[in-house]
Structure 1
């Protein structure tokens, strides 16, 4: 029950719905126990006692009771559903908000499909138990308790003979719960893996088809699906083992009832109507006990789901606003890295080692180096997507931890190498970081990013609806919209992470010319593989294995016989070869 105790903040606010549902459940349970009493009166008084004048009254009373029970059942189910639906509404919102607050470090190890499974299947599993499981447990207690009281009223000895098997059913139910919970936990985890496999395949379908790997992906899916099937079969085996056993024990109780009860009727200790009523009451006890397996089933699924949901809700938030955060409206853009070292995982080699540089306001810093050299790590630390392992990062003389996260990131415009666009209009995508931007400002951002012309050629211009991840646009078009989005926020610090990698050299030149205007007065960090993008930088940092191995202007670095000069020579030779081939 610890899981439900930890999640109580999501369902306790709606306890009124639950309490009213429970009250109507009491009415339903009371009426249910009245049935055998009416049956006993009909047999003993009307049939055997020949009190036929009771028939209209008993019939009228029975119809009235049925109407009350039907109405009470409807209200009880409605309120129970409301209790569950409202509870998981809060829970689902809390999960989504938590995912927004978790740092990149959490997502480095998380799988998209598994997270989707938690927000859908696991939340739904928890809802079903909250809506019906709690009520079923109360129904069990109330109905069994009321039936037992009536049975004791009719015959104490027959009650004890009938219920002598009850401890055996309880022990079996306990063992069933112990066996089925880990089985359901395995099913939930396997379902998350299955979702992950489907999500990865759909996201990478172009790569799969381009390399003709459909058969390989089908085989991999079959393997994951096989694990999921095995987990389900294991759970089915547990169910098949314990539920028939509980039913067998219940039927033994019925045999004992008919044998000893029939003997009491022959001896005149018990009336025939009382025996018939007793038989009905026994099933009002036995069926809830045997259906306890279904309730345990529901409870185990909800418990397993709750554990997986708590893993998200209780995940540590490593990036957050500290107590000493001071609100500020604007940054000057003076960025300083002081002896910064960073590990993605502590046991791994450092992604950055003792990085130190000083970027004055309005300056442009170029970052170049091989893949994995640490370029992207620097800008991720600057935006506080991660915290440095050692060292300090200052903006305008203050550690970045002293700035409010929201304010800090709105002052930093980022254009990532891997462009992401939302399934919305182009206008909404450009204004995503600044929803209050006017249409004139959106168009101006589009023009500066050299995106306005191709946008106006689309059927609906800036109101054109994009497909998932910007489907329908070329890589270069998507990158130019991403640049327009960064420009629209009017940031103090601008980060361009290889932002022109997906455009041709002519478009790159046009964008670079436009960015020269945009970069004025802004501290800009440019990550690029093409030296042509870095020529005008105030300082270029050449990185290798997380270290700055060279630094200086383009002219200084090309005059040295170092790594930058070798990169420049290779790129120049490649361009010269292309030109020579074109001339021929």
Structure 2
């Protein structure tokens, strides 16, 4: 058994009791359906032929109550399979969705750098629905179909062997037809999955950037792009529906041909006294019982393709190994001083050949305030992202308090590092929820204290519901400076010994920048701090400024020392100063 098959079957394990109960009631319902034609045969061949009305009436009434009892039992069985069977499927879908969502959390930035959010969402929603339909209906349909098919076959042979052989002459052709269509449908359904995932990605991209769309008046362009993607989806649907139409119409043709063959053959057999009318009637009733499981089995191939195509895409994600994870012997990082050292560190992305940077050697003492500058694209953010292991070093290693960060658990490493980014992400919810994201068990008093430290308390109290104000998707109801202060409050609440400020004030106006800068300096006090600087004026007081290039750290020193050296930093500073003067004259 393949690894993928074992994974699929493993989702049944927690629900074995429910699964076997579902199979029992499915089997019961299938067995009952085989009894009705035998009762009809008994009435037509024995009761009505061999008995008078006085003898026949009480027997028919008894058989009526028997059939009503069977109907009740069939009702209970089908109700159980329809309700409890679907519940089992929903629970399995719950487990699968948990598994893939948890796996998403384990994957590194390298994975998300190459993915579309809409595509990932499609795998966790649309795909899994089809998988769970297969999990529930698949075994059930196989059990019902097998019981009905084998039972009907055995009974038909007992009624009339030659007529049974006529019927079964058509079945191999039907199955060959089904196998051929299965291959065609498999390709078509996979294409459908990919196209609908593309549409999801396009919708997510459009709605996330709707303000950019409107600011450029590009609604028509976006509609045209969507229509193109939607048309491709319709084309793939057209192919799958052509296959489905061929499949169902072909199946109906075979069913009709079998009925015609039975009626014609049965008529000739009656004329030659090889079968009586009651047996032919029973035979025709069983033909439907025989053809129904054939239809189910062939329809199962369609359901199987839907479900397994979805499971393939689900399993495809689970098979992606996280490129950054804890070692078995990883330790927790406790009582952190904050001394950080880079040892011959180089980094390149997985899909590139050349390094972003190399030869990084750096020692940062506990509590130091370090600034990182350099031209755009040189890897300043990436270098700082190596410390919490958002990316893994390509060469060399990084230590915190003389411990290689690869020997530290990811959870404890990241709990000791606070990050304030330029692009602040706030979740839909209240101000309280977003600040408390820094430490989920924090009290309201601690949240308020963190907000005060971040210079955010005053503007929060000015909101309609204070800390319980809903701020909208991504904090759309707040200004840039307000959002930034909330992100700083989060880090105050987290209270980590190591900080990374990633161009935290570069997108703010001068007034907001000053308030945020004050908050950042307050936060950085007595903590090891890395500042990625866009505006060089904000880092004049840094204990050490590092100038990063593709070849590594080229200059190190204070603001005054680097200006005296008249190197890369001095050149960057002059360019910034000249730009400011130009803006003032404008």
Superposed pair shares fold, TM > 0.5: yes
Distance of 2:13 and 2:148 partners within structure 1: 25
Equivalent in the alignment of 1:320 = 325
Distance of 1:310 and 1:408 partners within structure 2: 30
Distance of 2:35 and 2:207 partners within structure 1: 58
Corresponding residue SS for 2:170 = helix
- Select 1:118's aligned residue among 123, 132, 139: 123
Change (3 A) 1:546 1:10: farther
1:427-482 per-position Cα deviation (integer Å, ceiling 9, x unaligned) = 22112121222333322221222211111110111121221111201112111111
**After alignment, is 191-200 or 496-505 more displaced?**
496-505
1:502-523 per-position Cα deviation (integer Å, ceiling 9, x unaligned) = 3222332233233333212210
Structure 1, unpaired ranges of 5+: none
Contact 2:485 2:519 in 1 (8 A): no
Contact 1:11 1:84 in 2 (8 A): no
Corresponding residue SS for 1:382 = coil
Q: How far did residue 367 of structure 1 move?
A: 1.0
Contact 1:493 1:524 in 2 (8 A): yes
Aligned runs of 1:24-43 on 2, under 5 Å?
A: 24-43=25-44
Corresponding residue SS for 1:549 = strand
| TM-score of the superposed pair, with normalisation by structure 2 | 0.96
Query: What root-mean-square deviation, in Å, do the aligned CA atoms of Structure 1 and Structure 2 show?
Result: 1.7
Equivalent in the alignment of 1:10 = 11
Change (3 A) 1:529 1:546: farther
Contact 1:417 1:499 in 2 (8 A): yes
Distance of 1:11 and 1:113 partners within structure 2: 29
1:20 aligns with 2:21: yes
Change (3 A) 1:268 1:434: same
Equivalent in the alignment of 1:85 = 90
Corresponding residue SS for 1:7 = helix
Corresponding residue SS for 1:495 = strand
1:304 aligns with 2:309: yes
Contact 2:499 2:529 in 1 (8 A): yes
Aligned runs of 1:262-341 on 2, under 5 Å?
A: 262-341=267-346
Equivalent in the alignment of 1:367 = 372
Q: How far did residue 118 of structure 1 move?
A: 0.6
**After alignment, is 54-63 or 114-123 more displaced?**
54-63
1:225 aligns with 2:230: yes
Q: How far did residue 163 of structure 1 move?
A: 1.1
Contact 1:450 1:480 in 2 (8 A): yes
Equivalent in the alignment of 1:177 = 182
Equivalent in the alignment of 1:527 = 532
Equivalent in the alignment of 2:77 = 72
- Select 1:354's aligned residue among 359, 374, 388: 359
1:382 aligns with 2:409: no
**After alignment, is 413-422 or 2-11 more displaced?**
2-11
Contact 1:18 1:80 in 2 (8 A): yes
Contact 2:426 2:475 in 1 (8 A): yes
Q: How far did residue 324 of structure 1 move?
A: 2.2
Aligned runs of 1:183-222 on 2, under 5 Å?
A: 183-222=188-227
- Select 1:160's aligned residue among 156, 159, 165: 165
- Select 1:248's aligned residue among 246, 250, 253: 253
Change (3 A) 1:63 1:274: same
Report the number of matched residues.
Answer: 581
Contact 2:175 2:298 in 1 (8 A): no
1:149-201 per-position Cα deviation (integer Å, ceiling 9, x unaligned) = 11112112221122111111111111111111111111111111110000000
1:563 aligns with 2:564: no
Distance of 2:388 and 2:496 partners within structure 1: 12
Distance of 1:480 and 1:207 partners within structure 2: 24
Distance of 1:379 and 1:125 partners within structure 2: 42
Equivalent in the alignment of 1:393 = 398
Change (3 A) 1:246 1:438: closer
Equivalent in the alignment of 1:61 = 66
Distance of 1:437 and 1:46 partners within structure 2: 81
Distance of 2:351 and 2:230 partners within structure 1: 34
Q: How far did residue 216 of structure 1 move?
A: 1.1
1:532-580 per-position Cα deviation (integer Å, ceiling 9, x unaligned) = 2111111111223463232211111112222221222232233345556
Distance of 1:522 and 1:25 partners within structure 2: 66
Equivalent in the alignment of 1:548 = 553
Distance of 1:83 and 1:109 partners within structure 2: 35
Contact 2:333 2:413 in 1 (8 A): no
Distance of 2:584 and 2:111 partners within structure 1: 47
Contact 1:336 1:359 in 2 (8 A): yes
Distance of 1:514 and 1:241 partners within structure 2: 69
Contact 1:261 1:270 in 2 (8 A): yes
Contact 1:368 1:529 in 2 (8 A): yes
Change (3 A) 1:243 1:507: closer
Equivalent in the alignment of 2:445 = 440
Distance of 1:519 and 1:235 partners within structure 2: 60
Distance of 2:434 and 2:468 partners within structure 1: 10
Contact 1:373 1:546 in 2 (8 A): no
Corresponding residue SS for 2:425 = coil
Contact 2:118 2:204 in 1 (8 A): yes
Distance of 1:463 and 1:502 partners within structure 2: 27
- Select 1:477's aligned residue among 479, 482, 494: 482
Distance of 2:443 and 2:340 partners within structure 1: 30
Contact 1:557 1:565 in 2 (8 A): yes
1:343 aligns with 2:336: no
- Select 2:519's aligned residue among 495, 514, 519: 514
Equivalent in the alignment of 1:404 = 409
Contact 1:36 1:277 in 2 (8 A): yes
Corresponding residue SS for 1:524 = strand
